[in-house]
Structure 1
C-alpha cells in the first residue's frame, strides 16, 4: 500500500513539473514574441502616425531600453513580493500594456505603452527559468531547459511571419491584439499552478547602484540603437552618451565595492561555470538574432521577396530549433560540452553557408542554412543553461538568471549594431571601388550584355549600371557580415575548455 502511495506521489510530482514547465514556456514565448513581431508592423505604424523613420524606430528602442533596465531587478523583486505574485503582476501589466498599444491613437501613446510592455515583461523570462530550475531536479535540467528554451527562441523566430500576415490582412493593431488572449491564458496558468516562494527579508536595497546601473545600461542601449543613424562619434549626442555610460559604469563598480549588499552581487562571479556561461550566453545572444535582422533586408531589398516568403524562410529556422531542442533534451545526460561544440559548429557552418549567397539564390538555398542554424541554436542553449546554473545555490537562481538574460540581450544589441555598421561601411567601400572603374572609355561597356539589355547609349545605361553596382556592393556587405558571424562562432570554441564538469564547485 505504501508503495502505491509513493508511486502516486511521484506521478503527481511529475505532472506538476510538466504543468509548471508548460505555463512558464507559454509566458516566455509571448514575451519573446513581442521583441520581433512588432518590427514587421513599423511601416504601417509610420504611415498611420505620419512619423519619420527616426521617430518610429523609438517603438523598438524604448521597449529594449525598458527591458534592459528592469531585468536585473528580478531577484530583488522576487525577494520583495514573491515569485508567484510578481509573475501575476508582470503578466497582467504586460497584457494591459499590449492592449493599450493596440488601442493607442498617437505615437506618443504607443511609445509610453511600449515602455510599460518592456518593463512588465522583463522579469518574465529570468523568473520563469528560475522557477523551472527550482521545481525540476538537477539531473533533469537538460530536459527542462530544452523545452523552456524552445519557447524563448522559437517565438522570435516565427514572430515575423505571423506578424507580417496579421499586418497585411488586418492592420498593425492586430499584431498587439493577438498577444492579449494568450497572455490571459498564461496568467490563468500562473494563478493555478505556480506556488508562492522566493519571498525573503529584503536587505537594504542599493538604490544608488540601481540608479547608476540603469543610467549606464540606458546610455549603452541608446548608443547601440542610435549610433549608426547618428554617424557614431561624429555626433555630439552619441559622444555625450558614451561619456555618461563610462562614468556611470565606473561609479557603479566603485559603489559595488563599497556597499555591504550591492545591486549585483560579486559573489555570483566567483562561480567559474557561471562566469563561463555569461561569456557563452553573450555569444549566443549575438549569433541567435542577428540573421533575423540581416536576412529580411537582403531578401526584400535586393532579392524582391514578399513578406510572406521571407516569413517562410525564417520559419525554417524555427523548424531547425525544434529539432535542435528535441535532440538537446535527449542528450541531457551526456557531457554538456558535446552539445556546446556541436551547436557552435552548426551555427558557424550556417554562417559560412550564408557567406556564399548570391543574388540568384532560391528558397531552398536560403532554407538549409536557416535550418542548420536553428539546430545549432537548439543544441547550444540547453547545455549552456546546464553549465551556467548547475553549480549555483538555488537561492541565487532568480538573481543569477536575471543577469544571465541581461547579458544575452546585451550580446544581441552589441552584435546587431556591429553587424549593421559592418554592412553599411563595407557596402559604401565596395561601391566606391566599383564605380571608379565605370567610364565611357571602358571598351567593355559597349556590349549590351554588360550595360543592360536594350540600352544602346552610355547615358541610357548609367542608371542601370549604378543600380547594379549598388546591389553587388550590398551583397558584398552582407557576405562580409556572415563571414564575421561564422568567425565569431568558431573563435568561441577554445573557451569551452574552461567548463568544469562536476556537481559542485
Structure 2
C-alpha cells in the first residue's frame, strides 16, 4: 500500500468506546500489584499460613507477570491483539474469582500466578491500542489517559485494599475485579476490531525459555531477598546463579539467532532505547516510592487506610492536572524540556519528603504529594510519546511489551533496593540513638531528668520511641536518595531526539486491535 494513501482512524466516538474497556483492564492490573499487600495478615490467619508462606501470594503474581509480559507482543502478532486481550481479561477475571473463593494457600498461590499470567498482556497491549487508534497529533492525549491508570493504580491499591478488608473481608480485594473485568470483556468483544494483516513470526522457543527463566530468577531474587537476608541465603544464591546462566545464554542466543524472541530492531531505534532506559530508572524511583510513602503514613504517622487515601488524593490530582496540561504543551514544547521540567519538579517533591518528621501535619503532606504528582504527570506522557514516535508501527506490540517489562523490572528492583537502603539507614539511626540512652549522657539528663533506668516500663517506652524515630530517619534518608537518583537521571534525557512526524504506511497500522 502506498504511503500516500490517507490513514483511516476510528471515529472519535468509537475511540472512546475502545479506550474505556482498555483502560479498565490495564488499571485493574496496576491496582492488583499493591491491593493485596494490606490484606496479607488477614489471609495468613484465614488460610492458616506462616508469614513466610503467605508472601508467595505476592511473589507468584509478580513472577508470572514478569514471564508472560514479553510473550504478549508475539502472541498479538500471531493470533491477533483482540483475541489476546479477550483471553487475558477473561482469564484475569476468572483468576480473581478463584482467588476470592480460595480456602487454602496452594489454591490462592496458583490463582495469583494465573492472574499475573493473564494480566501481563493487558498493560502493554492497551498502550499499543491507544497509540494505534489515535493519530500522532493525539498520542499525547492517549498516553495521558493511559498514564492516569498507571499512576493512580499503585496509590489507590493499598487504600482500597485496606477499606475492603476492614469493612467486608480480604476476599473482596479480589472479588472487586469481577464486575470491572466483565465490563471490560464486553466492551472489547463489541468494539475492538480484528486485523487481517497480522504478522506470523516464528516462535523462538529457546529465546523465550532462557528469557523467562532469567526474569523469573530476577523477580524471585528481588522479591525474596529482603526476607532471606540476601546472599547470606542459599536460596538467593541459587536464584543469582540461575539468573547469570540464563542471562548469558539468552544474550548469546539473541545475538546469533536469525529470528530471536526479542527483535534487535527495537533497540536500534534511539528514542525507544533511551526512553526504555529512562523508563526503567523512573520505575525505580517513582513507582517504588509509592508503597514506602503509604506505609510511612499509616505505620508511623498513625493514619487509617481511609485517611491515607484522602491524603494521597492530591498526588493523583497533581498528576492529572499536569497530564491535562502536557497534552497541549507537547505540541508546543520539545518533549525533552517537558521531561526535564517534570524531573526537576519531582526531585523538589522528593526533597520536600526528605524534610518531613513525625510531627508533620496533613497540610504539608497534601502540598508535598501535590508537587510530586505534578512532576510525575509531566514525565510519563512525553516519555511515552517520544519512545514510540520513531518506532515502526509494526513493532508496537513488542515495543509496548518491552516498555512495560522494563518499567516492572525497574519497579521491582527499586522496591528491593530502597527497602535495603531503608533497613540500613534505620539500623544506623537506631544504633546511634541507643548509644545516647545512658545515665552519663548530659543530653539525656537535660531532656529526661526524671528518667528511671531501672524501670522496665520506662526502658520499653523509650525503645519504642527510638524505633519509631529510626524508622522515620530511614524513610527520609531514602527520599533523599531518590532525589539524588532523579538528578543523576536527568542528563539521559538529552540523548533523546525530537519527535518526527513523517508519513507511515497505512498497512502497518493495526487499527483498533
Q: Select 1:40's aligned residue among 38, 41, 46.
A: 38
2-structure distance, mates of 1:12, 1:201? 22
Query: What are the ranges of 5 or more consecutive residues in structure 1 without an aligned counterpart?
Result: 1-8
Residues 1:283 and 2:288 aligned together: no
CA drift of 1:19 comes to 2.1
Worse-superposed segment, 18-27 or 33-42? 18-27
2:372 counterpart SS class: helix
Kindly indicate whether the alpha-carbon contact (under 8 Å) linking 2:27 and 2:153 is maintained by their aligned counterparts in 1.
yes
Kindly indicate whether the alpha-carbon contact (under 8 Å) linking 1:40 and 1:164 is maintained by their aligned counterparts in 2.
yes
2-structure distance, mates of 1:358, 1:58? 34
Alignment map for 1:438-477 (pairs within 5 Å): 438-447=437-446, 449-450=447-448, 455-456=451-452, 458-460=454-456, 461-477=458-474
Residues 1:209 and 2:207 aligned together: yes
Alignment map for 1:399-438 (pairs within 5 Å): 399-438=398-437
Root mean square deviation of aligned Cα: 1.9
Kindly indicate whether the alpha-carbon contact (under 8 Å) linking 2:158 and 2:294 is maintained by their aligned counterparts in 1.
no
2-structure distance, mates of 1:77, 1:162? 33
Q: Select 2:20's aligned residue among 19, 22, 26.
A: 22
Matched residue, 2:180: 182
Kindly indicate whether the alpha-carbon contact (under 8 Å) linking 1:282 and 1:408 is maintained by their aligned counterparts in 2.
yes
Matched residue, 2:125: 127
Q: Please, what TM-score do these two structures have when normalized by structure 1? A: 0.94
Measured against aligned partners, the alpha-carbon deviations of 1:82-135 in whole angstroms (never above 9, x if no partner) come to 011111111111110011111111111110000000000000111111111111
Matched residue, 1:6: none
Measured against aligned partners, the alpha-carbon deviations of 1:339-364 in whole angstroms (never above 9, x if no partner) come to 21121112111110000011101112
CA drift of 1:458 comes to 4.4
1-structure distance, mates of 2:435, 2:151? 44
CA drift of 1:10 comes to 9.1
Change (3 A) 1:159 1:477: same
Kindly indicate whether the alpha-carbon contact (under 8 Å) linking 2:86 and 2:185 is maintained by their aligned counterparts in 1.
yes
Change (3 A) 1:374 1:443: closer
CA drift of 1:258 comes to 2.0
Q: Select 1:231's aligned residue among 229, 249, 258.
A: 229
Residues 1:80 and 2:78 aligned together: yes
Kindly indicate whether the alpha-carbon contact (under 8 Å) linking 2:210 and 2:249 is maintained by their aligned counterparts in 1.
yes
Matched residue, 1:488: 485
Worse-superposed segment, 307-316 or 114-123? 307-316
Matched residue, 1:367: 366
Higher relative contact order (CA 8 A, sep 6+): 2
Kindly indicate whether the alpha-carbon contact (under 8 Å) linking 2:330 and 2:338 is maintained by their aligned counterparts in 1.
no
Worse-superposed segment, 101-110 or 198-207? 198-207
2-structure distance, mates of 1:11, 1:439? 74
1-structure distance, mates of 2:281, 2:443? 46
2-structure distance, mates of 1:291, 1:363? 19
Q: Select 2:51's aligned residue among 40, 49, 53.
A: 53
Measured against aligned partners, the alpha-carbon deviations of 1:180-239 in whole angstroms (never above 9, x if no partner) come to 001110111101111112763523211011110011101111111111111111111111
2-structure distance, mates of 1:107, 1:181? 25
CA drift of 1:301 comes to 2.6
Worse-superposed segment, 391-400 or 438-447? 438-447
CA drift of 1:166 comes to 1.1
Change (3 A) 1:414 1:11: closer
CA drift of 1:338 comes to 2.5
2-structure distance, mates of 1:235, 1:224? 13
CA drift of 1:436 comes to 2.2
Change (3 A) 1:198 1:441: farther
Change (3 A) 1:500 1:154: same
2-structure distance, mates of 1:187, 1:490? 42
1-structure distance, mates of 2:56, 2:366? 31
Q: Select 2:135's aligned residue among 134, 137, 140.
A: 137
2-structure distance, mates of 1:127, 1:227? 31
Measured against aligned partners, the alpha-carbon deviations of 1:374-416 in whole angstroms (never above 9, x if no partner) come to 2211111110001100001110000010000000000101111
1-structure distance, mates of 2:289, 2:313? 12
CA drift of 1:457 comes to 5.0
Matched residue, 2:476: 479
1:392 counterpart SS class: coil
1:436 counterpart SS class: helix
Kindly indicate whether the alpha-carbon contact (under 8 Å) linking 2:311 and 2:366 is maintained by their aligned counterparts in 1.
yes
Kindly indicate whether the alpha-carbon contact (under 8 Å) linking 2:319 and 2:374 is maintained by their aligned counterparts in 1.
yes
2-structure distance, mates of 1:304, 1:339? 37
Measured against aligned partners, the alpha-carbon deviations of 1:235-264 in whole angstroms (never above 9, x if no partner) come to 111111111101100100111122111010
CA drift of 1:12 comes to 6.7
2-structure distance, mates of 1:17, 1:445? 67
Kindly indicate whether the alpha-carbon contact (under 8 Å) linking 2:9 and 2:135 is maintained by their aligned counterparts in 1.
no
2:377 counterpart SS class: helix
1-structure distance, mates of 2:10, 2:213? 46
2:103 counterpart SS class: coil
Kindly indicate whether the alpha-carbon contact (under 8 Å) linking 1:149 and 1:381 is maintained by their aligned counterparts in 2.
yes
2-structure distance, mates of 1:404, 1:348? 23
Measured against aligned partners, the alpha-carbon deviations of 1:4-32 in whole angstroms (never above 9, x if no partner) come to xxxxx999722222222223212211221
CA drift of 1:296 comes to 2.8
Kindly indicate whether the alpha-carbon contact (under 8 Å) linking 1:440 and 1:458 is maintained by their aligned counterparts in 2.
no
Kindly indicate whether the alpha-carbon contact (under 8 Å) linking 1:29 and 1:153 is maintained by their aligned counterparts in 2.
no
2:436 counterpart SS class: coil
1:333 counterpart SS class: coil
CA drift of 1:330 comes to 2.3
